[in-house]
Amino acid sequence: MEFLNNLEDGWTIYLWLVAGAGIIIASIIAIRWAAKNEQFDEDIKYVVFDKDDEDKMSPEEFKKAMEVNKYQEELREKYLKEAREHKASEKKKAS
């Protein structure tokens, strides 16, 4: 604490600049991660619908919802397969 008291006036602005730069860098990294991991998918809202909701939607919306559901199911299978393969390779390494 004595060190901080011995510093000249105006040093706190540099602390704020470093903190601000850190926040901006962390935000950029988080946005980049989200973009790479399909976190900005506008069609995700259709995942809550299923075939029983056809009467509640227009034909175009229902078609879009079914396409999105099919794509999401395929994506889920892909990630589950990758996870199983990763787990198997980890198990093999441990042996």
**Domain ranges across the chain:** 1-40, 42-95
pLDDT at 39 over 70: yes
Amino acid letter for position 41: D
Q: Is pLDDT larger for residue 3 or for residue 70?
A: 70
Start-to-end C-alpha separation, the chain: 52
Q: Which of 52, 76, 77, 75 is nearest to 62 (CA)?
A: 52
Q: Which of 73, 76, 69, 75 is nearest to 46 (CA)?
A: 69
pLDDT (0 to 100) of residue 18: 96
Q: What is the pLDDT of residues 41-65, one digit of tens each?
A: 888 788 888 888 889 999 999 999 9
pTM: 0.56
pLDDT at 19 over 90: yes
